[in-house]
Amino acid sequence: MTLSSPADPKAAKALGPPPADHAPLKAGKIGVMLINLGTPDGTDFKPMWRYLREFLSDPRVIELNKAIWYPILYGLVLTTRPKKSGANYARIWNREKNESPLRTYTRAQAEKLGQALGDLPEIVVDWAMRYGNPSTASVAQRLVEQGCDRILSFPLYPQYSATTTATANDQLFRALMKMRAAPAIRSVPPYYAEPVYIDALARSIERHLATLDFEPEVVITSYHGIPKPYSDKGDPYQAHCLETTRLLRQKLGWSDDRLITTFQSRFGAQEWLQPYTDKTVEKLGHDGVKSIAIVNPGFSVDCIETLDEIGREAAETFHHAGGEKFAHIPCLNDSAEGMAVIEAMVRRELAGWV
């Protein structure tokens, strides 16, 4: 016996109309949820404490046994780090909107994506944070309340890691676990080697370098690091980062020593992926390199790790080591190049739904 697919309109017509007492069914809308890492709600101690507690309590981020990690987290980290991190955030804070640049740029990406998908009236675009606000759960509920029975999740990380992409999707499914009528879910895969992404990076780099009054001797692609044991256990993040740099080098037509890869933002005492960005920048200065530029291909928008850690700390390190000219190349953010990447990935992954 062969059953006709309910998705076939001819088959549905042949079956006839539903009975009068049949519950009405409506064609649902499709939600597109851009998900970024997260941001504190403010730079004071309390909002920083809340944000860091949520972030550093995630077992995808810190894989230590809770019996070992929680005494350190609550006894040392959360008593000292909120003040220091708050001071760093204060330097880059969007005073006009009273929020971090990461939130400003992610909102702008969602707004521009909604406009770009204006030819698809069934699409509802929204944005969320894995840690902080707007929470993933609240945005998922908001999309469902707007009639979305399908959601395309877009973790805004070009290179996959369990510490980023996986935990973003974990959080979305936790929200679904509390819903009686949960929507169907798709997730945009990592796009570290997508031609549209590599092209966008190359154009962005070339455009920014053209505005400088110097030509960098070395350009560094600096990615957020992860502990080396995570990579050793099978996280593909390092391989994804190296492939992005290789393809970008190929696209730009640069040599291996003109465009190099490093990893930043290490935390704690264990070994992280190397070479480290700060150590590399310092060594370049000591070795007589006078001009460098740094770009962050692993970040979809500028944030504390790019604007302060690279834009301020790395610059200071390079200058103290003897370097003279330093430039930080902005992330793709909501630029035309950046939005072309997001739109292309979303349209591709919506195939079959629209």
d(CA 180, CA 14): 31
224 is in an annotated binding site: yes
- CB proximity list for 183: less than 8 A, separation 6 or greater: 28, 31, 140, 143, 144, 148, 149, 150, 151, 176
d(CA 51, CA 39): 7
305 is in an annotated binding site: yes
Query: Which regions of the chain does DSSP assign to beta strands (E)?
Result: 29-39, 123-132, 148-155, 184-187, 218-224, 259-264, 291-295, 325-329
Q: What is the largest CA-CA distance in the chain?
A: 83
Residue from 141, 128, 134, 227 nearest 169 by CA: 128
- Ordered alpha helix ranges (H), 132-290: 136-145, 167-176, 195-209, 228-232, 237-252, 277-286
The sign one gets for the Cα dihedral 238, 244, 245, 246 is positive
Annotated binding site: 224, 305
Annotated binding site for Fe(2+): 224, 305
